[in-house]
Structure 1
Amino acid sequence: MSDENNDLDQQALADEWAAALEEQTGSASGGVSDDADAGAKAVDLDELRDESVPIGDPKLDVILDIPVRMTMEVGGTEIPIRNLLQLSQGSVIELNRVAGEPLDVKINGTLIAHGEVVVVNDRYGIRLTDVISPQERIRRLK
């Protein structure tokens, strides 16, 4: 009995899809109507590059609450797995950065600024010393 109900549900679903497809192809066979294009809107790509758009702009409200991962990179190094396995408490690893050199501030792995470590109320922070321009960020992606 359940197979019969499942077949009926499948048939009903197939009928709905067929009706929707017929509506779509019916309007396409008669030519594309102006009503169909009424919902479509041309987008000017220069609009997306405009840096003077204020933060309160409704166009940006959609993305303002998307979380991103911000990291501060002190430096890095490459070591063989053999040396990695020999590390213990108190081991010192030399990084590829000179002491006093600014840290890299990255958003989702993309460099956006340089900064220096500060301590405020017993918490670490970072003071931005140089922000990478959007044009430079795009150039670095290529």
Structure 2
Amino acid sequence: GMGDGGAGAVGGDPVTVQPVAFPSFDNHLPAAGMLNGNLDLLLDVQLNLTVELGRSELSIKDVLELTRGSVIELNRVAGEAVDLFANGKMIAKGEVVVIEDNFGLRITSIVSPAERIKAL
């Protein structure tokens, strides 16, 4: 039955249990052509890029006391490289630049393409 801890079907008939035979596979990467074909499907997917200028930690009290004109000190020295994140994973460092009226980032170091794919 159901509550006796035994293995049986709902009606109480015995159930035949057999091991499942899974096909064997090795831990090798798929052939390069197959990997590239799958990657091609993803190349047009849009990612959110974020540049992090720095971080700071404040108490709830300090956050509640912030007003217009408040200054928060960040954990980076002026001129130090900033971090570039793709979907929340750091992939590069760079320097902040100005492009016409917008900020930009000149990349000074970046992880390998393989590491970037892993990060996504």
Same fold, TM-score > 0.5, yes or no = yes
SS at match of 1:62: helix
Within the candidate set 54, 57, 66, 1:75 is matched to 54
Within the candidate set 71, 76, 91, 1:97 is matched to 76
Percent identity of the aligned residues? 41
1:88 has 2:67 as partner: yes
1:54-133 equivalences in 2 (<5 Å)? 57-133=36-112
Distance 2:42 2:104 in 1: 25
Return the offset for 1:45.
4.2
Distance 2:28 2:77 in 1: 42
TM-score w.r.t. length of structure 1: 0.55
Within the candidate set 29, 46, 51, 2:29 is matched to 46
Contact kept? 1:114, 1:130, Cα under 8 Å: yes
Distance 1:45 1:81 in 2: 50
Q: Provide closer, same or farther for how the CA distance between residues 63 and 45 of structure 1 changes in structure 2, counting only shifts above 3 A.
A: farther
Residue deviations 1:12-53 (CA, integer Å, cap 9, x gap): xxxxxxxxxxxxxxxxxxxxxxxxxxxxxx7974237x6xx7
**Unmatched 5+ residue regions in structure 1?**
1-41
Contact kept? 1:112, 1:137, Cα under 8 Å: no
Moved more, 71-80 or 57-66: 57-66
More helix by share: 1
Structure number with higher relative contact order (C-alpha < 8 Å, ≥ 6 residues apart): 2
The alignment yields a C-alpha RMSD, in angstroms, of 3.1
